Amino acid sequence: MSATPGRLVVCPTPIGNLEDVTLRTLSVLREADVIACEDTRTTKVLLDRYAVNAPRVRYDSHAERRVAPKLVERMLAGETVALVSDAGMPLVSDPGLVLVQAAAAAGLAVEVLPGPSSALTAIVASGLPAETWRFVGFLPRKRGELQVVLASEETLVAFESPKRVPATLAVLAELDPDRAVAVCRELTKVYEEIVRGSAAVLAERYAGVDVRGEVVLVIAGAEPGAGDAASAQAAVRRLVEAGAKPRVAAAVVAELTGLAANDLYRDAVAGQD
């Protein structure tokens, strides 16, 4: 074993435009003994562009627990491991957590480089308040869970599948039609598009549209108290899923929360459609 252990360097990569890579990231990639890639083929495009010839190993969500111990062994032997995902910052809705935790547990240095981030790019481009904001990764699919997330009183930043953008906007428009939203698509790429407007306007615009590309949604914070209603609606849905009748579930939750039973009932029935 080397007397001077190696290190792990977390390297953000461009989210679209390859010219957004930093000089520091390129320096680390050139000097690394091995580059751990979410997809070696995707990373190869960037490496070929800048004539980086370091060896690559696949490190995706399926291989994390198998590959991480081997990479830690290499670092303990004095090697430098560079970690990249397909785009943006590793660990942010991308693989890498297992390796960072394993390296830290082994007493190895973990260095994180600054660089491109679709979440930061989107919130700045949205024109919505960014003093405090909440990143939630990919939005939940279940309506009840989605409503709870959308009730955040902070500006919300989330990834969304392009196929689900119309449905998500429709739910938001139903809950709060005047809420400001920005749909940020293909950021930094050739077909970058940022569409801003109210939930109602954007829900109508995207209804039935075949959205394509990478999408980040930025949603203005909800009015205070919206979270209470969302939590109550989610509670009714859980009761219904457990076998309770919607009318009975709505009545029980209404009695506990003071919210209107009819509103809770209508929401529960709508969620079954």
Helices (DSSP H) in the chain: which residue ranges? 23-31, 40-49, 64-76, 97-105, 118-126, 143-150, 165-175, 199-206, 226-241, 246-257, 261-271
Mean pLDDT throughout 241-249?
Answer: 84
Q: What is the reported pLDDT for 3?
A: 58
Mean pLDDT of the chain: 91
- Structure confidence by residue, pLDDT tens digits, 89-109: 999 999 999 999 999 999 999
pLDDT score of 244 more than 90 = no
14: alpha, beta or left? (left if phi > 0; alpha if psi -120 to 50): beta
Asked if the model's pLDDT at residue 140 lies above 70, the reply is yes
* Higher per-residue pLDDT: 145 or 42: 42
More confident residue, 118 or 1: 118
Mean pLDDT to the nearest integer, 239-249: 84
Residue 227 confidence (pLDDT)? 58
Residue 227, by phi and psi: left (phi above 0), alpha (psi -120 to 50) or beta?
A: alpha
Asked if residue 145 has pLDDT above 60, the reply is yes
pLDDT score of 200: 97
CA distances 83 to 7, 118, 122, 273, Å, are 11, 18, 24, 44
CB 7 within 8 A of CB 108: yes
pLDDT at 42: 97
Token readout for 13 is 């990569």
More confident residue, 151 or 253: 151
Is the whole model's pTM more than 0.75, yes or no? yes
Whether the per-residue pLDDT at 203 is higher than 90: the answer is yes
Share of the chain above pLDDT 90, in %: 75
Per-residue pLDDT tens digits for 147-188:
889 988 999 999 999 999 999 999 999 989 999 999 999 999
User: In the predicted model, is pLDDT for residue 273 greater than 60?
Assistant: no
What is the residue type of 58?
A: R
Residue 225 has pLDDT above 70, yes or no: no
Tokens at residue 72, please?
A: 């830690």
Query: Cβ-count burial of 107 within 10 angstroms (0-12 exposed, 13-18 middle, 19+ buried)?
Result: exposed
